[in-house]
C-alpha cells in the first residue's frame, strides 16, 4: 500500500511539468548563442543554453511564458502556447553595451555584476586634452588614481599610483595590460614607457581595484590593474578613412619679480649695501644697491630663456570589415617643442588590429603596435 502511494505521488508530479526544448541563435549570423539564461516567468526555474545554443527545460503546467536574457542582447519574452519546441532569435542591444566593462583576459562583463570596484574611461575623454601620454590625460578622471610627472620637460616620465603606495623600495605602479598582454610601463632616464601608447588608438581604459580584480595576474597586480583596449574594426562596414589634426600651445606662468634692487648684501666694513656681480663673488640675495645707481648694470629677465611651446599631432586611420573579417590600422605623428629649446619630443606610432572569423566557434585576432620616440631632454630619474 505504501509503495502504491509513492508511485501515485511521482506520477502526479510528472504530470504537472512538461519538457520544452529549442535553440537560441544570433540574429546577425544565425549561430547558436551559448550561456543564454532561460527562465519560466513568475518562477525561479531556469536553465542556460549549451555551447550550441540548445536547451531543455521542464515547464510547470500552468506557466505560459519563457524569458530569454543575455548580456549585450535584448531581453525576449516568448509565449509557449502549448508548444514543446520554442526557438528564439536574439538581437544585440547597443544600450546595454554602454554599461559593459572589460575585465581580465579581455572578458566583457556588466559593470553592475562585478564584485569589485572598477572605473572606465572612454577614448574621447583621453584625447580631449592633448598630451604626449594618455596617462597625463587620466588626471582627475579616476577616483583614487594619483598621477605625477617627473618634470615639466617635453616627453617626461609619468608616475601612476592607485590607492596610495604600498612599498618603500619597490615599484608602486599598477600593472598595465594592453589587449590582454602585460605592458612594460617603467620609466627610464631618457624615455617614458607609457608614451609608447598612442592615445588616439585607445578605445577604452578600465581601472581594476582590489585583490579580486587582479586575481588572474598574480603578484604583479598587487598595486592594481589598468586594462587598455585598443580600437578595432566593425563588422559589415565599408572602409572609412579618418584624419585628425590637433595643435596646442604651452606657456609658462611668469611669477612677478622685483626689478629695483640688485643682487648683494650689507657690508659691515663699508657700512653700506654693496653690489655682488656674480662673476668674482656670488650670492642669492637681492640686498644690493639700486640697479639704476650702478653704471653698466642692467636687469636680467630670467623668463627670456623660455619660449612658447607647441604640440602638433596628426593621425590617420582606416577601419572597416565584413561579417568574416574586421580591421583597424592607424598612423600617428606627434611633435612637441618644449618651452625651453632645444628640448622636445617626437613620436611615430603604428597600430594594426585585425579579426578573422573562420567558423562560429573559431575567431582569430591579431594586434600589432610599433612606436618610436625621439626625445631631447635632460636626464631624469627612473623611480616608479
Segment 336-361, tens digit of pLDDT: 888 887 888 899 999 999 999 888 88
Residue 301 lies in a domain: yes
Contact at 8 Å (CB) between 380 and 191? no
Same domain, 218 and 300: no
Same domain, 243 and 348: yes
Contact at 8 Å (CB) between 189 and 151? no
Residue 291 lies in a domain: yes
Residue 8 lies in a domain: no
Q: What is the CATH number of the domain that holds 62?
A: 2.60.40.1120
Whole-structure pTM value: 0.62
CA 142, CA 117: separation in Å to the nearest integer?
11
For residue 106, the enclosing domain spans 97-225
Same domain, 289 and 313: no
Reported as a pLDDT band with limits 50, 70 and 90, residue 175 is: confident
Give the pLDDT confidence score for residue 57 in this predicted structure.
Answer: 92
Same domain, 372 and 241: yes
Residue 44 lies in a domain: yes
pLDDT in tens, 278-332: 778 888 777 888 888 888 777 777 777 888 889 899 999 999 999 889 999 999 9
Q: At a CB cut-off of 8 Å and minimum separation 6, what does 286 contact?
A: 258, 261, 262, 263, 264
Residue in the block written with cell 583576459: 105
Report phi then psi at 305, rounded to 5. -75, -15
| Residue where one domain finishes, among candidates 96, 117, 149 | 96
pLDDT in tens, 254-289: 777 778 888 888 888 888 888 888 778 888 777 888
C-alpha closest to that of 121 among 183, 179, 207, 209: 207
Reported as a pLDDT band with limits 50, 70 and 90, residue 187 is: low
Reported as a pLDDT band with limits 50, 70 and 90, residue 193 is: confident
Altogether, the residues listed in the chain come to a count of 384
Same domain, 68 and 145: no
Residue 194 lies in a domain: yes
Whether 1 has a pLDDT exceeding 50, the answer reads: no
Give the pLDDT confidence score for residue 270 in this predicted structure.
Answer: 80
Residue 383 lies in a domain: no
Whether 10 has a pLDDT exceeding 50, the answer reads: no
Reported as a pLDDT band with limits 50, 70 and 90, residue 13 is: very low
Whether 97 has a pLDDT exceeding 60, the answer reads: no
Same domain, 49 and 108: no
**Average pLDDT value over all residues in the chain:** 80
pLDDT in tens, 207-260: 877 665 566 677 777 788 888 888 888 888 899 999 999 898 888 887 777 788
Give the pLDDT confidence score for residue 12 in this predicted structure.
Answer: 41
Same domain, 241 and 371: yes
Residue 114 lies in a domain: yes
Same domain, 272 and 248: no
Same domain, 248 and 354: yes
Residue 4 lies in a domain: no
**What b/e sequence results for 74-92 when a residue is b if at least 16 CB atoms lie within 10 Å of its CB, and e otherwise?**
eebebebeeeeebebebee
CA atoms within 13 A on the CB side of 94: 0
Same domain, 145 and 161: yes
First-to-last alpha carbon distance for the chain, in angstroms, is 80
Same domain, 88 and 116: no
Q: How many domains does the chain have?
A: 4
Q: What is the CATH number of the domain that holds 134?
A: 2.170.130.10
Give the pLDDT confidence score for residue 228 in this predicted structure.
Answer: 87
Farthest-apart Cα atoms in the chain, separation:
129
Whether 51 has a pLDDT exceeding 70, the answer reads: yes
Same domain, 27 and 143: no
CA dihedral sign of residues 46, 50, 53, 54: negative
Give the pLDDT confidence score for residue 103 in this predicted structure.
Answer: 58
Amino acid at each position: 500500500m505504501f509503495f502504491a502511494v509513492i508511485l501515485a505521488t511521482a506520477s502526479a508530479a510528472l504530470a504537472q511539468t512538461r519538457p520544452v526544448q529549442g535553440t537560441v541563435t544570433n540574429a546577425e549570423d544565425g549561430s547558436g548563442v551559448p550561456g543564454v539564461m532561460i527562465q519560466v516567468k513568475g518562477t525561479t526555474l531556469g536553465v542556460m543554453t549549451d555551447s550550441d545554443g540548445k536547451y531543455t527545460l521542464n515547464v510547470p503546467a500552468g506557466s505560459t511564458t519563457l524569458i530569454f536574457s543575455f548580456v549585450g542582447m535584448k531581453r525576449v519574452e516568448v509565449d509557449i502556447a502549448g508548444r514543446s519546441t520554442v526557438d528564439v532569435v536574439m538581437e544585440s542591444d547597443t544600450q546595454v553595451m554602454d554599461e559593459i566593462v572589460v575585465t581580465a583576459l579581455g572578458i566583457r562583463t556588466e559593470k553592475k555584476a562585478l564584485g569589485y570596484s572598477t572605473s572606465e574611461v572612454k577614448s574621447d575623454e583621453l584625447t580631449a586634452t592633448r598630451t604626449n601620454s594618455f596617462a597625463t590625460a587620466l588626471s582627475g578622471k579616476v577616483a583614487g588614481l594619483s598621477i605625477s610627472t617627473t618634470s615639466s620637460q617635453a616627453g617626461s616620465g609619468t608616475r601612476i599610483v592607485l590607492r596610495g603606495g604600498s612599498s618603500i623600495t619597490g615599484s608602486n605602479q599598477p600593472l598595465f595590460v594592453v589587449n590582454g598582454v602585460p605592458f612594460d610601463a617603467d620609466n627610464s632616464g631618457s624615455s617614458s614607457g607609457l608614451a609608447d601608447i598612442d592615445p588616439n588608438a585607445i578605445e577604452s581604459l578600465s581601472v581594476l581595484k582590489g585583490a579580486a580584480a587582479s586575481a588572474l595576474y598574480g603578484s604583479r597586480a598587487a598595486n592594481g590593474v589598468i586594462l587598455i583596449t585598443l580600437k578595432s574594426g566593425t563588422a559589415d562596414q565599408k572602409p572609412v578613412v579618418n584624419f585628425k589634426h590637433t595643435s596646442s600651445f604651452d606657456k609658462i606662468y611668469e611669477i612677478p619679480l622685483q626689478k629695483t634692487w640688485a643682487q648683494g648684501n650689507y657690508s659691515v666694513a663699508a657700512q653700506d649695501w654693496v653690489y655682488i656681480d656674480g662673476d668674482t663673488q656670488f650670492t642669492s640675495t637681492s640686498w644690493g644697491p639700486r640697479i639704476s645707481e650702478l653704471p653698466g648694470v642692467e636687469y636680467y629677465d630670467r623668463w627670456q630663456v623660455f619660449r612658447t611651446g607647441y604640440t602638433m599631432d596628426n593621425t590617420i586611420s582606416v577601419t572597416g570589415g565584413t561579417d568574416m573579417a574586421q580591421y583597424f590600422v592607424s598612423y600617428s605623428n606627434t611633435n612637441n617643442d618644449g618651452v625651453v629649446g632645444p628640448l622636445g619630443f617626437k613620436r611615430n606610432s603604428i597600430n594594426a588590429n585585425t579579426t578573422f572569423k573562420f567558423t562560429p566557434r573559431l575567431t582569430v585576432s591579431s594586434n600589432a603596435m610599433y612606436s618610436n620616440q625621439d626625445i631631447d631632454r635632460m636626464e631624469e630619474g627612473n623611480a616608479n
